């Protein structure tokens, strides 16, 4: 049966975690999803701020470093 935690974290999720009550597993999956969304948003914001805010001579190097 598909499990949201293994969908998110891969097949190595420990058996003891998968044995948690379904509502706890769902809650954990939801916290992981929220954390990923937050990190992605933070990364996008930091990238944008860096590309706009670093001194001009460094902007190319920063763009390259960020792969942006």
Q: Which residues bind other proteins (CB under 8 A)?
A: 8-10, 12-17, 20-21, 24, 27-28, 31-32, 34-36, 38-39, 42-43, 46-47, 49-50, 53-54, 58, 61-62, 64-67
Nearest approach, Cβ of 19 to other proteins (angstroms)?
9
Chain centroid, CA 5 distance in Å: 14
Residues 6 or more apart whose Cβ sits within 8 Å of residue 26: 4
Nearest approach, Cβ of 41 to other proteins (angstroms)?
11
Q: Which of 49, 17, 16 is nearest to 8 (CA)?
A: 17
């Amino acid at each position: 049966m598909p499990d949201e935690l293994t969908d998110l974290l891969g097949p190595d999720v420990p058996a003891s975690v998968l044995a948690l009550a379904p509502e706890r597993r769902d809650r954990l999956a939801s916290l992981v999803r929220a954390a990923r969304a937050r990190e992605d948003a933070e990364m996008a914001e930091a990238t944008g701020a860096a590309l706009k805010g670093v001194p001009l001579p460094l902007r190319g190097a920063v763009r390259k470093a960020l792969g942006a």
